Amino acid sequence: ATRGGVRIRGSRRVARADGWAIRDALDLRDTWFRVRVTFGVATVLQDAYERLDAAPGQPRGRPYPVSGNGGRALGRAQRFERGRMTLVSHLDRSVWQRGPVLQHYDALGGEDSILGMPETSVRSGPGFESAAYGNGVIVWSPGTGAHAVVGALARRYLSSGGSRGPLGLPVTDARPAPEALRGSSAVRVQLFETGAPRFAAPRSRFM
């Protein structure tokens, strides 16, 4: 049951103070007041945030560490009104992910997925948005949705021009190939706007 007053959580204990005590301590005019919790931009993200002219909006939580297998530090991240900013340690660079690209990345497992850490901010092209990761890319457009291209297939896709090349935008994520095409290997197929299907093996963790 609610006992009134304000519940204050500190680093060592939780205490409760009534409205009059808070009023006196803060020199307020009344015991009816609201407390709004705000967060600051992480120091390691501040320069990149300012270069973006605060486009990500206000922080929506504290910065937190991003760790890989074995607890290895990969960077620090923080949620904002519009997306997430991440300091990528091995690049010494901060990137801003947002919108459907970020949603698809998180749906695949985020930093723990086969894509790995983000390496670029989400970039806009003619009718699409994309971002690069340690092991692939995610491309989104209103007509095709968001899809990841990973591994060796991503390297071939990007070397041929990526979304501006002959294959165009991906229209599916990689998926199991028809039985007749598999043979003895775990072949997977991915379709693109204007190009023929491309096949990749072995099976990726998130597909």
Predicted confidence at residue 6, as pLDDT, reads 67
Six token digits for residue 15: 């205490």
Q: Are strands 64-67 and 123-125 parallel, antiparallel or unpaired?
A: unpaired
CA distance 206 to 154: 15
Cis peptide before 126 (omega within 30 of 0): no
CA distance 101 to 88: 18
CA distance 170 to 59: 32
Say which amino acid occupies 55. Answer: A
Predicted confidence at residue 147, as pLDDT, reads 97
Q: Which residues pair with 165 in a beta bridge?
A: none
| Secondary structure (H, E, C), the chain | CCCCCEEEECCCCEEEECHHHHHHHHCCCCCCCCCCCCCCCCHHHHHHHHHCCCCCCCECCCCEEEECHHHCEEEEEEEECCEEEEEECCCCEEEEECHHHHHHHHHHCHHHCCCCCECCCCEEECCEEEEEECCEEEEEECCCEEEEEEHHHHHHHHHCCHHHCCCCCECCCCEECCHHHHCCCCCEEECECCCCCEEECCCCCCC
Predicted confidence at residue 16, as pLDDT, reads 79
Q: What is the largest CA-CA distance in the chain?
A: 78
Predicted confidence at residue 38, as pLDDT, reads 77
If the chain, 207 residues long, is cut into consecutive pieces of 10 residues, what is the mean pLDDT of each piece?
A: 62 76 76 73 96 96 88 92 97 97 97 95 95 97 96 90 91 78 64 70 44
